[in-house]
Copies of this chain bind each other. A is one copy, B any other.
Amino acid sequence: MSDEMDIDGVGRLLAPDIVESIDAKRTADVLAAFSELQDAEVAVVLEELDDSRRIVAMRLLPRARAAEVFAYLDHDLKEQIITGLSDDVAAQIFNEMDPDDRIDFFEEAEDDLAQSLLKRMRPAERKETEYLLEYPEESVGREMTPDFLKIQPEWTVQQALDHIRAHGAKAESLDTLYVTDKNNRLINHLRLRRLVLADPNDRVESLLKTTRTTVRINAMADREELVTKMEEYDLPVLPVVDEKDELVGIVTFDDVADVAEEEVTEDMHKMGGLEALDEPYMAASIPTLVRKRGIWLAVLFIGEMFTASAMSLFEHQIAEAIVLALFLPLIISSGGNSGSQATSLIIRAMALGEVTIADWWEVARRELICGLLLGALLGLIGLLRVQLWQWLGLADYTKDYFLVGLTVSISLVGVVTLGTLVGSMLPLILRRLRLDPASVSAPFVATIVDVCGLLIYFGVATVMLGL
């Protein structure tokens, strides 16, 4: 760790001073304190304040600044602030916001609140918002901003720079400029740096790399593609086009970082065996938490009931050799652990594009070898454990203790190999069936491995101990 303070530290440090200034109604002091902070830091200070002071602070901030700061807050705080402010002040802040940040709020807001805000917003901003909300949820259109600058290929560099100077103030990103034809179709792009580095009398078209097509994305595409595309091409800004290839907006890296974070959270939750939670843990209500977890927990439970049925086939063996029951949890959990290792590896590798369905045979070959080796490792430890405890008198595994140890050991090789194979193949099979591997692998792997693990264990025991 470095000795620098993190952003939360900045917030906690400054909040007390600002509280004092707010309570003493020293408006100038509040504004002076905020003017020394980055937008993200003001947001952290606001998080630290209590509800009523937060509203006061927000009302004091210039509307444009308030709009910038607003974008860094959690949705719950945003809603608290908006309902706390008068409708007109709220609408003024919304007028100043970047269109994509505005959409972020509207997507999660209650219908009544959204309608009342829309009604009070400036006509231009209202129209823009309504237009963006027409794109489907989780589509690229919902993440983009229509505030961008277009330049014409026949302009000179000087003309382009003048145009930017005149109209660029509102654009969200000027780092890349987009060149369109008369019909607004995207032809090419130009980094601002290239324009600045060029001779002012050159023509824009002479600067374009004519042979390469500009990477673009369709507004109706899934927003997951945004993340992949921007990462694969290392782009800070991506132009968004409609089905006629007309430029309709741009997406910037910071919006994509948020999308990527949400997608990772989704995957992690699914791998942990629960429905993805789309709000912060502390903001989620207990009924929501119970619902998101209860569904999968019940599915897993019902799947695991097969173990009870499988076990009932071996009641006789257990009665004959109670000692078998002792190692049951150990064997089952080893299969489960090796399965979840394989599943995590393969799901992540698929998400990164390192493994595709076409690789299934190679994956199966590798996992079979890994499974056998890992199984042998655990089998050896298991065998030693049984012998050692018996010799030390720590446990009595009957007079057949050596055979018991061997049963445990051989079963472990089988169960671990099975877990590894099932855990690695299931995500690939699910992807092939166009199901989401992250969300359904865990329960299937668990159920299959546990039930088959029991069959292996009692099968081996029946042979070894002659039951």
Question: Which A residues are closer than 8 A to B by beta carbons?
Answer: 1-4, 6-8, 35-38, 40, 72, 161, 164-165, 168-169, 174-175, 192-193, 196-197, 211-213, 215, 217-218, 220-222, 225, 228-229, 231-234, 236, 253-254, 257, 260-261, 264-265, 267-269, 271-274, 277, 280-283, 286, 289-290, 293-294, 296-298, 300-302, 304-305, 307-309, 311-312, 315, 318-319, 322-323, 325-330, 332-334, 336-338, 340-341, 343-349, 352-355, 359, 362, 366, 369-370, 373-374, 377-378, 381-382, 385, 395, 416, 446, 450, 454
Contact = CB atoms under 8 A, between A and B. Distances in A.
A311 B329 contact: yes
A337 B231 contact: no
Given A289-B370, A308-B330, A328-B328, 7 more contacts: A36-B212, A175-B175, A269-B348, A273-B337, A282-B354, A296-B337, A297-B377
B197 A353 contact: no
A297 to B, nearest CB: 6
A187 to B, nearest CB: 15
Nearest to A353: B8
A302 B311 CA distance: 24
Given A286-B370, A328-B325, A354 B7 contact: no
Chain A residues touching B, majority SS: helix
A291 B90 CA distance: 57
B161 A175 contact: no
B290 A374 contact: yes
A71 B466 CA distance: 62
B307 A330 contact: yes
A269 B164 contact: no
B2 A225 contact: yes
A334 B297 contact: yes
B454 A329 contact: yes
A265 B352 contact: yes
A169 B192 contact: no
A289 B370 CA distance: 7
Contact of A236 (B236, B273, B281): B236
A366 B285 CA distance: 9
A458 to B, nearest CB: 11
22 contacts: A36-B212, A36-B213, A37-B212, A164-B197, A169-B197, A174-B192, A175-B175, A257-B257, A271-B344, A281-B346, A281-B348, A290-B373, A293-B338, A297-B337, A298-B377, A298-B378, A301-B381, A308-B326, A308-B385, A328-B328, A329-B329, A333-B450
A143 to B, nearest CB: 14
A232 B40 contact: yes
Given A38-B212, A196-B168, A378-B298, A326 B312 contact: yes
Nearest to A375: B297
Contacts of A301: 330, 334, 337, 378, 381-382
A418 to B, nearest CB: 14
B307 A329 contact: yes
Nearest to A282: B354
A369 B286 contact: yes
A405 B35 CA distance: 66
B165 A344 contact: no
Given A232-B7, A334-B304, A352-B265, A341 B193 contact: no
B333 A304 contact: yes
A3 B446 CA distance: 36
A297 B378 contact: yes
